[in-house]
Amino acid sequence: RALNVLGAPIIHLASTGGFLGRRNATLLIGLPEGMTEKAVEALQRSCRQRVEYLAIPLEGSPLPLPTPVPVTVGGATIFVIPVERFEEF
């Protein structure tokens, strides 16, 4: 939503993370020259990291007692790739 103000075409792809197996959002954003920093700033305001606890069973324990392990989730990974040609129909 924060990127809507940029007026750039955004393609939203549903994806799943490999480690936790949770849903992610993969965005492909076509930006005109000079708009990259504004997009990065908008994503920084919207995509926050947080700590969640994942229950991991204790190894070697006679009882299946899970131990909560902190895992950092959320945030964003941004790749800036120059595009030679872009067409929209």
C-alpha distances out from residue 80 to 17, 28, 45, 52, 65, Å? 21, 10, 18, 29, 44
Q: How far apart are CA 63 and CA 58, in angstroms?
A: 8
One pLDDT digit (tens) per residue for the chain, 89 residues? 677 777 888 888 888 776 667 788 888 988 888 889 989 998 888 888 999 888 877 777 777 778 888 988 888 889 999 888 878 78
Helix (H) or strand (E) holding 50: strand 49-57
Domain boundaries, the chain: 4-74
Q: Return the closest-CA partner of residue 54 out of 43, 36, 67.
A: 67
Question: What pLDDT, on a 0 to 100 scale, did the predictor assign at position 19?
Answer: 66
CATH number of 4-74: 3.30.70.120
Question: Is-contact 40 1, C-beta < 8 A?
Answer: no
